[in-house]
Amino acid sequence: MKVKDLKKLLNAVDKNLTVVLAKDSEGNSFSPLSDHSINIYGPNSTWSGDIYLVELTPEYEADGYTEDDLYHGDNGEKALVLWPAN
């Protein structure tokens, strides 16, 4: 899903609803949305992958991130990452 599709979906629902994320497609656990970030998504398969920093800033370096936290593949894409509270 692209951000434009998410925006369209969100515009069609009650603006006062709580946003909850499912742990997986089977619905084994749920958590309220806590935060978001913009990262690089590097797919490992058609259904899962890992996220990487878009750039290594001084702030990230101070937090212990290194060049290893950047994406070095050829099929990654910038993505909005929604983070659960728990």
pLDDT digits (tens, 9 = 90+) for 43-76: 999 888 999 999 999 999 999 999 999 999 999 9
What the block records as the tokens of 52 is 């990487």
Q: Residue 75: its pLDDT value, please? A: 93
CB 51 within 8 A of CB 40: yes
Task: Decide if pLDDT at 24 tops 90.
Answer: no
Work out the pLDDT band at 86, boundaries 50, 70, 90: confident
Phi, psi at residue 66, to the nearest 5°? -135, -175
